[in-house]
Amino acid sequence: LDSEKFLDKLEAAGKEMLETGKGKGSKELNEGLKRETCTLELPAVRTEPIADTKLYAEVTESIFVVCGLYKTPQTPVKGDKKRKVPADDAWELAFSTAFAVTADGVLTTSRHFFGDPQPCEVFLVADSQGKIYPVEEILAADEKKDTCLFRIQAEGLKPLPLGKSIPPGSKARVVSHPGYFFWFFSAGQVGNHFEEDGANWVNITADFGQGSSGAPVFDEFGNVIGQVTSTLTLFATGPAEEEPAVARRRIPVQAKPTEEKPEVLPKTPPKKKKKKEKPMVPPPEEQGEPQMVFKTCTPVEAIRSLIKQP
């Protein structure tokens, strides 16, 4: 996959949707974030182990790129900080990962992708063959558990079966879109389960990065046992932040994989919550060497909690 051409194609499709009125953005879709459940019929779980290579070949067409187009902020006129000019053609892309839950167009991704403070003018989805769909509707979402169900107009998709949480030490595999590396495979194990702020989470050792949010985490049978959410880096003196930051990356459309790394806009700031006092986090120069990165995922039960089966 040529990443540069793929990003150009997403931009062109998003602009066309805006021009023809076929696309929807944050303004039209965000009302759906208030819905708590929807009724869906889910596929049966798998019961036979599946090898890594076969899993990748089978699930690739079930995993999508979710993309949002937004305009860059107005830029100051050189020599006159009070005057600003709009960047009319300066579209940028935000993207995450999604996967099919039903054959008739219901997908799931991380809730924070649609709920980010930076609104998008239009949201679209692309499959592994390059076919592009507009996002039609958000069906249900849970901000605390960071998961979201939405619909595209599609038939004949291959939904991924939702399994159940598995214990630490169990095999875990991910297919996602970190940075410019679309449909990237990684494997590891379940590290642990933990509870934070009234929600359950699972850490895995399979790699992922910004752009992977919403990706499926598979067990040894190919059932989904979680959904990628965030990362947290541990430094020699302790966690770099008081709580995990939401993993989402905004990539300038014009950037090329071979050029300098694109500017990463600030991550979604954590909400202020009443908590017990924690040790003061030292400044970056005192944090010491990075030691490890915790890869945090939403457990599959959070996705199931949005679904009522007929």
Q: How far apart are CA 300 and CA 153, in angstroms?
A: 24
Write out the H or E segment, with its range, that includes residue 82. strand 80-85
Q: Rounded distance, CA 178 to CA 109, Å?
A: 14
What is the DSSP secondary structure assignment for residue 32, as one 8-state letter? G
Q: Residue with structure tokens 């995922």? A: 297
pLDDT of residue 273: 37
- Separation between Cα atoms, residue 295 and residue 235, nearest integer Å: 15
Residue 277: pLDDT over 60 = no
Q: Tell me 179's DSSP state.
A: T
pLDDT per residue as tens digits for the range 232-274: 888 776 555 554 433 333 332 222 233 333 333 333 333 333 3
Weakest-pLDDT range from 57-66, 129-138, 272-281 = 272-281
What pTM value is reported for the model? 0.81
Residues 6+ apart with CB under 8 A from 182: 1, 3, 6, 65
**pLDDT tens-digit series, residues 283-293:** 555 556 778 88
Distance CA 132, CA 124 (A): 7
Dihedral angle computed from the Cα positions of residues 51, 54, 56 and 62, in that order, rounded to the nearest 10 degrees:
-120
Query: 193 or 284: whose pLDDT is higher?
Result: 193
Residue that is written with structure tokens 């709009």 in the block = 86
Tens digit of each residue's pLDDT (9 = 90 or more) over 49-95: 999 999 999 999 999 999 999 987 665 555 555 555 555 567 899 99
